Structure 1
Amino acid sequence: MAEETGHGGRVKHPKVQQWYWIWQKTISFENGKSSVEKDPYEWCLRQSKRLKAIDSQMNAQMSNHKPLKKIPGELDHAVKFRCNQSCTLDEIANTLHDVRKIKNIGKHSP
């Protein structure tokens, strides 16, 4: 059985690999800003999956509302104003989509 080696030919320890993977997911979540080009539904789902990968014990309410902190500027305020504490991820994604569509917030105009 061939062992996977890291930099310098050293064997990677499984715990180190797991830690590194979780660290990468954490960085991906932290850098995952909502943008104009991204579909709100896909973005919310991706952020939620990243949070579950980082902490599988996180409750649903926390994993639904943590992505709200990643929404920029005016869009953030408009979405948070329309979502209560018991909103599901689907409701947040729908609200994000509707606010962007109605208010034209977060869209670049040439």
Structure 2
Amino acid sequence: MRQDHGKHSWPWWKEQIVSKWVNDSWRFKMENSFEESIFNIGRDRPMSWFLKQKDRLTDLHPNMSETMIHKRILRKCGGDLEHAIRSRCIEPCSTEDYINAMEDITTKPKIGRNWYKPPIDNKNSGKPISKPKKPHEKTPTMS
């Protein structure tokens, strides 16, 4: 193909690739992969996940503004994490600012973890601590 068309710039080649390979099934696949991809702190790295989502959205919607792209990506992060990122980044923010905030939040205070570990009582053979019953709560007895 290069011999047929000669030397051209990257935007020209990108347009040729898009016109040849992009079709409805590709768009459907990209939309599904964007919708199914939800940020998981234990599994995903913030920078690679954010940039992958941004690439997917810019490929699907080339005319979408950067702020709209950021808003759609942040919605995929989940409640606590999304709120923490929005609190740190005052709009308009660059992609780099969002990624830096996301990395700080996920690596330092561990916001958005999905698991809960009960406190362990070291005095009683490492069993989880059970809450003491309040005096007004009586266990039902059989009469």
TM over 0.5: yes
Q: Which has the higher helix share?
A: 1
Once residues 99 and 74 of structure 2 are traced to their aligned partners in structure 1, the CA distance between those partners, rounded to angstroms, is: 10
What count of residue pairs does the alignment treat as equivalent?
A: 96
Q: Which secondary structure state, in structure 2, belongs to the residue aligned with residue 27 of structure 1?
A: helix
The normalised TM-score by structure 1 is 0.76
Counterpart in the other structure of 1:103: 109
User: Mapping of 1:1-110 within 5 angstroms?
Assistant: 18-36=23-41, 37-107=43-113, 108=115
Tell me by how many angstroms 1:109 deviates: 6.9
Q: Structure 2, unaligned stretches of length 5 or more? A: 1-18, 118-143
Identity %: 26
The normalised TM-score by structure 2 is 0.60
- Residue-by-residue CA offset, 1:11-34 (whole Å, 9 max, x unaligned): xxx9xx611111111111111101
Query: After TM superposition, where is structure 1 displaced by more than 6 Å over at least 4 residues in a row?
Result: none
- Residue-by-residue CA offset, 1:7-61 (whole Å, 9 max, x unaligned): xxxxxxx9xx611111111111111101121110001100000001111111222
Tell me by how many angstroms 1:73 deviates: 2.5
Q: Structure 1, unaligned stretches of length 5 or more? A: 1-13
